[in-house]
Amino acid sequence: MSLAFAGPNPAAVPVHIVAKDQAEAAVAELPLIGQQWARTQGFTGALGQVLVLPDAQGGIAQVLVGYGTAQTRARGRFHLGAVARQLPKGAYRIASGLTDADLEEASLAWLLAAYSFDRYRKPGDSIAALVAPDGIDAARIQIIAQAEALTRDLINTPASDMGPDELEQAARDLAKAQNATISVTMGDDLTDANFPLIHAVGRASPRAPRLIDMRWGDSGPRLTLVGKGVCFDTGGLNIKPGASMGLMKKDMGGAATVLGLAQMIMALGLPLRLRVLIPAVENSIAGNAFRPQDILPSRKGLTVEINNTDAEGRLVLADALALADEEDPDLVISMATLTGAARVAMGPDLAPFFTDHDDHAAAISDAAQQVADPVWRLPFHEPYEAMIEPGIADLDNAPGGGMAGCITAALFLRRFVQSPYVHFDIYGWQPSAAPSRPKGGVGMGARAVLAALPRLLKL
């Protein structure tokens, strides 16, 4: 699997992107035999329609690709990714029909269309190659595509091969490749180092819990990324039903996403100081598992009443966020597959995020639209604070009633951070295949954050 552009190739087949209202004019510009062929094939410029035009030797002279209307394009993204998989193998170049902004999305879509998760099967066939279009930052787009592939690979790997050990190794491999430093606190050392919540959640598993701490960069603003690394979630003693446990290999999707984002930042050499914190655990069932109604201490000193052991992600994040906050970074961003409530509210394709800073929200929302990485701001709604205060302890990890679950989870996390803070409640999974996104693990929000960083940190 090569998520990279083809080298310069004068023989690359030209691809013309044709909106529906331009289809008749585009066909009229073809040679007479091409016009007849286009009309015979019924080319109308409908979104995703592909017309391969032969040359006199039986090869491919050019390709017309339907771009539909603004309305049909708005109902999806990465449309050229579907086209890339329909074309015969060979080298192609986008010759006309796209604005600069659309050209970047189309180029990324083409590269991501080559992704497949082949660890446990014979690799699939390669797809048509794209010569990097003029006017785009090809190196940047390749870095983004390859980092997205890392995120997808980590999420797609089953828990049998992606526990805390393997997640740590993935972080170590990334640190080595990018000349970052890394330290890990694990097992009972977590208690000695004052990470009681991470230890409590992970202690029932034979795979030791740990906190992974990666650093890169020696100048510029401080950015700390915190990713939920629950490598499998049984629900603990509040065990999940089978249907709810089926996708829990993806419960480390927040960790996978921040590692992908970290790879983008480091590979692009952004002028900042990066820290990545990943609490990596497996929420298992054993005699020493934490229990409902337990009251647990946290690194910050706040006590937490456990009303559902299946609300474990916010617990491990809490200790990591408290650690992040201790050095007063310019920005803390957490990413986590945290609540089902977020999916009910937003569905699988839209990542909600929370921040108290309107300028941060605007930067992320604007960037998300520019790079086709959809997000939506939800509020830290102050009146709901009482819902996470149980009375017997400082905080309740799972307030009853079933209302506003993603907001109360976000409010819980905010209690552990004083620094400027953004929290993403992502899904990390593509439930059915779409252009450039096969069914399986997928990054959410990382490209939006990357594009927003110049505004967020004044780079």
Residues carrying an active site annotation: 240, 314
Q: Is 187 exposed, middle or buried (0-12, 13-18, 19+ CB in 10 A)?
A: middle
8 A C-beta contact, residue 358 and residue 365:
no
Please name every residue paired with 64 in a beta bridge, in sequence order, or none if there are none: 16, 51
Q: How far is CA 311 from the centre of its chain?
A: 21
Tokens of 394: 């400082």
The token pair at 409 is: 């989870």
Quote the DSSP letter at residue 199.
Answer: H
Q: What is the DSSP string of 287-345?
A: TT---TT-EEE-TTS-EEE-S-TT--HHHHHHHHHHHHHTT--SEEEEEE---HHHHHH
Strand partners, 274: 216, 223
Q: Are 153 and 260 in contact (CB under 8 A)?
A: no
Which tokens is 424 given?
């993403």
CA 261/CA 441 separation, integer angstroms = 15
CA distance 255 to 334: 9
**DSSP for 103-165, written as a single string:** HHHHHHHHHHHT----TTSPPPPP--EEBPPTTS-HHHHHHHHHHHHHHHHHHHS-TTS-SHH
Do 151 and 446 meet the contact criterion of CB atoms below 8 Å apart?
yes
Instruction: Give the number of other CB atoms < 10 A from CB of residue 158.
Output: 11
Contact 310, 238 (CB under 8 A): yes
Quick one: which H or E segment has residue 172?
helix 164-177
Cα distance between the two ends of the chain: 33
